[in-house]
């Protein structure tokens, strides 16, 4: 098995390269994705090797990126669109919600829009406003879209290729503050045998309480579980991976064992993914629960100035504080 | 059916009756058939291009037949809405020439991206006029394959389809399907109101910088629901193109011959790799925006009467009569065909079944979703529990 140690960003880059190699209909489009390789260098070197018709530097207009990608998809292409930052996806929101998500439905299944919309999301990098947001609930709420997020280099490498190969339109959320974190990646394992795209997975087995997270918060929860272990608490961590549709079978199984669940995300708690997950756990695991499902999330403020984002974002201590509260019930 | 290709020789081709240059009184407006039905042989547009058509008598009659049929089917749909058989209808009354002229200019390989009003273009593509009526009756939301008909589904969000057309046209170029006589071209329909949308302006930018094989066809029918053109622009719309770096031209949208000539030229430029252009078809929406609208609240009768005098069908009929291209038997026969097709359309609309409720769960995702499978199962159990009751 040929494994390599790669950053999450490089794993995405190699995954995109494989997708371009495997299917001539795959095109990458976005702002600065060409010579620059994207502001996070995720498309680094791809235009040089595949040409400017496969890796397209677009005009600076997000609705145009998604809207023209719809047309390319109708023509038979498989566009992979990069939105430069989470906070800049909103000009494209109409095209995503009213066109990308609904074309298959409106056509009674006769037309597919096999599009991937890549969005670096979340905070923790000290950025100015509009560069640190977590818009996943907007998309998870929209029928016709699927939404996934990767948390490790291995998943980044596999999931981006699975998303591109899927005929569903997929919003692919990349945890930008984890782009530089390293992990082992198996570059040779066949995609057909990979763990499914729309499936949650236990990231750390445990017995006392269940932490649920995705994207950047998986690392935070793993760190929290390590710290809790020193205090004698054995926490299970589940990487949700797919946000729409949610895959909660593994979650129910876990919560029935532990009796306690804490959902963690950077997005504000009000009407967020955590609310849906908590409601469904309550419906399915009611008699197993030792305490209410708790949420640790961003606050219901606009994303704050960078010098206070550490207090805004869920961290190890806030996660463990919530775990303590589930035990104090 | 008009299959007129101005370049191809054909038997019975008629020289234009009078050799005249443009005398429309508006140098900005390309016109080959005056409101009184006088034929203008050719017009040199402000772009320096000489526009002309060279149809056979049969082709002229075919265009007239298209115009009458499209108007009749539209009137039938309006009547169906008034009788409660359609939820809503967006009438094209007054815009028949803009749609037939541009629709007949399309070649088989060309792709069209309509709004929700392009019933005439759809008809000229050879598509069964029943196809969009499911949308207006409320039994589906389109439901056709754009690639099968080379005609995208109707788009109700104003201007959104212009970006789809642009992306599709980029794909045509990437596929190497431009640069020859058999190249492919794309046409994007939109209205005067849509020119204020960001998507339309982004489409202009994109098509310009990528030199896409695309014709932007704006039917300026003077109103965006209630708002007159002056609320959308302070320059003629066709001049917007210059700022985006491609040609723009205004054509008399009530003149089927001029609309054909201008559109055919623009499409041929596109298919030959000459890039995009904008056509402003200057016309008038004689009826309401949709059947839910009341135009008497925002425009005066004398304005409507003035446009009535520019009617696209009346001028074509006057031309055919004056030049003895068609006789009364022909006109009677066309009216009779239109009546038959309208009756047939009505009968088929009334026969459209309501969809089974559980079909609302179909085709949300190509690969399905366990969440929807669960909801469908729950719904079916609930729905079936009423079996045998008055439900």
ipTM of the complex: 0.97
Residue B115, chain A, CB below 8 Å: the answer is no
Residue B71 and residue B118 share a domain: yes
Residue B99 and residue B68 share a domain: yes
Residue A307, chain B, CB below 8 Å: the answer is no
Could you tell me the two tokens for B281? 């078809």
Q: Where in chain A is the domain with CATH 3.40.50.920?
A: 201-327
CATH assignment at residue B152:
3.40.50.970
- A198-236 tens-digit pLDDT: 999 999 999 999 999 999 999 999 999 999 999 999 999
Q: Identify all chain B residues contacting A244, using CB atoms and an 8 Å cutoff.
A: 371
Q: Is A18 helix (H, G, I), strand (E, B) or coil?
A: helix
d(CA B310, nearest CA chain A) in Å: 36
Residue B160, chain A, CB below 8 Å: the answer is yes
Give the chain B residue nearest A54 (alpha carbons): B174
Output the pLDDT for position A2. Answer: 81
Q: Is B298 in the active site?
A: yes
A69 → closest Cβ in B141, B167, B209 = B167
CB B51 within 8 A of CB B32: yes
Q: How far is CA B69 from CA A73, A288, B64, B106, B335, in A?
A: 34, 69, 9, 19, 8
Residue with tokens 């009929």: B317
Residue B14 inside a domain? The answer is: no
Which run of H or E residues covers position A161? helix A153-165
Residue B157 and residue B98 share a domain: yes
CATH class given for the domain over A201-327: alpha beta
Distance CA A64, CA A244 (A): 25
Q: Mean pLDDT over residues A240-245, rounded?
A: 98
Half-sphere exposure of B281 (CA within 13 A, CB side): 36
CB B249 within 8 A of CB B45: yes
Q: Which of residues 112-171 of A touch B (CB under 8 A)?
A: 112, 114, 143-144, 146, 166-168
Q: What is the DSSP letter of B324?
A: T
Q: Where in chain A is the domain with CATH 3.40.50.970?
A: 3-193
Q: Is A198 in the active site?
A: no
Q: Which of B61, B65, B117, B289 is catalytic?
A: B289
Residue B380 and residue B247 share a domain: no
Residue B364 and residue B336 share a domain: no
Residue B385 and residue B310 share a domain: no
Distance CA B391, CA B378 (A): 17
CB B374 within 8 A of CB A247: no
Pairwise CB contact (< 8 Å): A67 & B141: no
Q: Identify all chain A residues contacting B139, using CB atoms and an 8 Å cutoff.
A: none
3-state helix, strand, coil in chain B (%, to 5): 45, 10, 45
Question: φ and ψ at B109, to 5 degrees?
Answer: -80, -5
Residue B363 and residue B345 share a domain: no
Distance CA B305, CA B66 (A): 24
DSSP string of A208-273?
A: SEEEEE-THHHHHHHHHHHHHHHTT--EEEEE--EEETB--HHHHHHHHHHS-EEEEEEEESTTSH
A74 → closest Cβ in B152, B160, B199 = B152
Q: Identify all chain B residues contacting A59, using CB atoms and an 8 Å cutoff.
A: 202, 205-206, 209
User: Mean pLDDT per 10-residue run, chain B (391 residues)?
Assistant: 42 50 65 97 92 97 98 98 97 98 98 98 97 97 96 98 98 98 98 98 98 98 95 96 97 98 98 98 95 93 96 98 97 98 98 96 98 96 82 50
Query: Following CA atoms B289, B291, B295, B301 in sequence, which dihedral angle do they give, to the nearest 10 degrees?
Result: 110
Residue B263 and residue B366 share a domain: no
Q: Identify all chain A residues contacting B175, using CB atoms and an 8 Å cutoff.
A: 75
Q: Which of B125, B137, B271, B285 is catalytic?
A: B285
Q: Mean pLDDT over residues A7-14, rounded?
A: 98
Residue B344 inside a domain? The answer is: yes
Distance CA A100, CA A117 (A): 10
Residue B171, chain A, CB below 8 Å: the answer is yes
Distance CA A112, CA A107 (A): 9
- pLDDT of residue A115 exceeding 90, the answer is yes
d(CA B351, nearest CA chain A) in Å: 20
Residue B345 and residue B372 share a domain: no
- B101-145 tens-digit pLDDT: 999 999 999 999 999 999 999 999 999 999 999 999 999 999 999
Residue B211 inside a domain? The answer is: yes
Count how many domains chain B has: 2
Residue B367 and residue B346 share a domain: no
Q: What is the DSSP letter of B150?
A: T
Output the pLDDT for position A1. Answer: 60
Pairing of strands B50-51, A116-121: unpaired
Q: Identify all chain B residues contacting A74, using CB atoms and an 8 Å cutoff.
A: 146-147, 152, 164, 167-168, 171
Residue B325 and residue B389 share a domain: no
Q: Which of A104, A131, A198, A265 is catalytic?
A: A131
Q: Residues B33-71, buried b or exposed e (16+ Cβ, 10 A)?
A: bbbebbbbbbbebbeebebbbbbbebbbbbbbbbbbbbb
Could you tell me the two tokens for A294? 């708790």
Residue with tokens 């390989």: B109
Give the chain A residue nearest B170 (alpha carbons): A72
Residue B97 inside a domain? The answer is: yes
B365 → closest Cβ in A67, A98, A144 = A144
Residue B200 inside a domain? The answer is: yes
Residue B346 and residue B363 share a domain: no
Residue A77, chain B, CB below 8 Å: the answer is yes
Q: What is the CATH number of domain A3-193?
A: 3.40.50.970
Q: Identify all chain A residues contacting B373, using CB atoms and an 8 Å cutoff.
A: none
Residue B259 inside a domain? The answer is: yes
Residue B182 CB neighbours (<10 A): 10
- pLDDT of residue A16 exceeding 50, the answer is yes
- pLDDT of residue A292 exceeding 80, the answer is yes
Q: What is the pTM of this model?
A: 0.95
d(CA B13, nearest CA chain A) in Å: 38
- A26-79 tens-digit pLDDT: 999 999 999 999 999 999 999 999 999 999 999 999 999 999 999 999 999 999
**Average pLDDT along chain A:** 98
3-state helix, strand, coil in chain A (%, to 5): 40, 20, 40
Residue A301, chain B, CB below 8 Å: the answer is no
End-to-end CA distance of chain B: 50
Give the range of the structural domain holding residue B379, as residue numbers without chain letter.
359-391
Pairwise CB contact (< 8 Å): B199 & A63: yes
């Amino acid at each position: 098995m040929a494994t390599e140690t790669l950053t999450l960003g490089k794993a995405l880059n190699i995954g995109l390269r494989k997708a371009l190699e495997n299917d001539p209909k795959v095109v990458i489009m976005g702002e600065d994705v060409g010579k620059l390789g994207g502001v996070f260098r995720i498309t680094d070197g791809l235009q040089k090797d595949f040409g400017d018709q496969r890796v397209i530097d677009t005009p600076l207009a997000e609705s145009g990126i998604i809207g023209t990608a719809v047309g390319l998809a109708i023509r038979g292409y498989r566009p992979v669109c990069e939105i430069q930052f989470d906070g800049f996806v909103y000009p494209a929101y109409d095209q995503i919600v009213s066109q990308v998500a609904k074309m298959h439905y409106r056509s009674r299944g006769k037309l597919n829009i096999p599009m991937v919309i890549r969005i670096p999301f979340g905070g923790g990098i000290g950025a100015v406003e509009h560069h640190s947001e977590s818009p996943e609930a907007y998309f998870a709420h929209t029928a016709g879209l699927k939404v996934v997020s990767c948390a490790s280099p291995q998943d980044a490498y596999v999931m981006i290729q699975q998303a591109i190969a899927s005929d569903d339109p997929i919003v692919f959320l990349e945890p930008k503050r984890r782009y530089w974190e390293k992990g082992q990646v198996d570059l040779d394992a066949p995609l057909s045998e990979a763990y499914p795209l729309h499936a949650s997975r236990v990231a750390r087995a445990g017995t006392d309480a269940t932490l649920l997270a995705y994207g950047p918060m998986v690392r935070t929860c793993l760190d929290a579980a390590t710290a809790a272990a020193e205090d004698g608490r054995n926490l299970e961590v589940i990487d949700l991976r797919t946000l729409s549709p949610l895959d909660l079978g593994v979650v129910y199984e876990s919560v029935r064992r532990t009796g306690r669940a804490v959902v963690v995300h950077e997005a504000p708690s009000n009407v967020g993914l955590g609310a849906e997950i908590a409601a469904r756990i309550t419906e399915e695991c009611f008699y197993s629960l030792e305490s209410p499902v708790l949420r640790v999330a961003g606050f219901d403020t606009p994303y704050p100035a960078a010098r206070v984002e550490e207090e805004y974002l869920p961290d190890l201590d806030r996660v463990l504080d919530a775990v303590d509260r589930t035990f104090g019930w | 059916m008009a299959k007129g290709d101005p370049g191809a020789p054909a038997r019975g081709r008629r020289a234009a009756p009078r050799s005249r240059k443009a005398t429309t009184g508006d140098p900005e407006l390309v016109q080959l058939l005056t409101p009184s039905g006088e034929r203008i042989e050719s017009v040199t547009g402000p772009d320096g291009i000489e526009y002309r058509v060279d149809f056979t008598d049969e082709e002229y009659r075919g265009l007239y037949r298209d115009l009458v049929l499209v108007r009749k089917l539209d009137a039938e749909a309006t009547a169906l809405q008034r009788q409660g058989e359609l939820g809503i209808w967006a009438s094209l009354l007054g815009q028949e020439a803009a749609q037939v002229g541009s629709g007949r200019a399309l070649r088989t390989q060309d792709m069209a991206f309509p709004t929700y009003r392009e019933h005439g273009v759809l008809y000229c593509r050879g598509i069964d006029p029943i196809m969009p009526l499911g949308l207006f009756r409320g039994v589906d939301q389109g439901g056709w394959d754009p690639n099968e008909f080379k005609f995208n589904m109707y788009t109700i969000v104003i201007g959104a389809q212009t970006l789809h057309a642009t992306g599709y046209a980029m794909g045509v170029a990437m596929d190497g399907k431009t640069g020859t006589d058999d190249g492919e071209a794309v046409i994007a329909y939109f209205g005067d109101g849509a020119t204020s949308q960001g998507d339309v302006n982004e489409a202009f930018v994109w098509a310009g910088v990528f030199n896409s094989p695309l014709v932007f066809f704006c039917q300026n029918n003077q109103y965006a629901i209630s708002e007159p053109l002056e609320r959308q622009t302070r320059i003629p719309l066709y001049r917007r193109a210059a700022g985006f770096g491609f040609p723009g031209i205004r054509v008399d949208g009530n003149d089927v011959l001029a609309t054909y000539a201008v559109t055919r030229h623009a499409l041929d430029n596109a298919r030959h790799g000459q890039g995009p252009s904008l056509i402003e078809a200057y016309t008038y929406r004689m009826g309401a925006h949709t059947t839910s609208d009341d135009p008497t609240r925002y425009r005066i009768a004398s304005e409507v009467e003035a446009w009535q005098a520019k009617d696209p069908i009346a001028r074509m009929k006057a031309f055919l009569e004056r030049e003895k291209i068609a006789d009364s038997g022909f006109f009677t026969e066309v009216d009779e065909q239109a009546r038959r097709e309208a009756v047939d359309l009505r009968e088929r609309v009334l026969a459209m079944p309501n969809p089974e409720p559980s079909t609302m769960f179909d085709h949300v995702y190509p690969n399905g979703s366990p969440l929807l499978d669960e909801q469908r199962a729950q719904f079916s159990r609930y729905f079936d529990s009423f079996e045998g009751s008055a439900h």
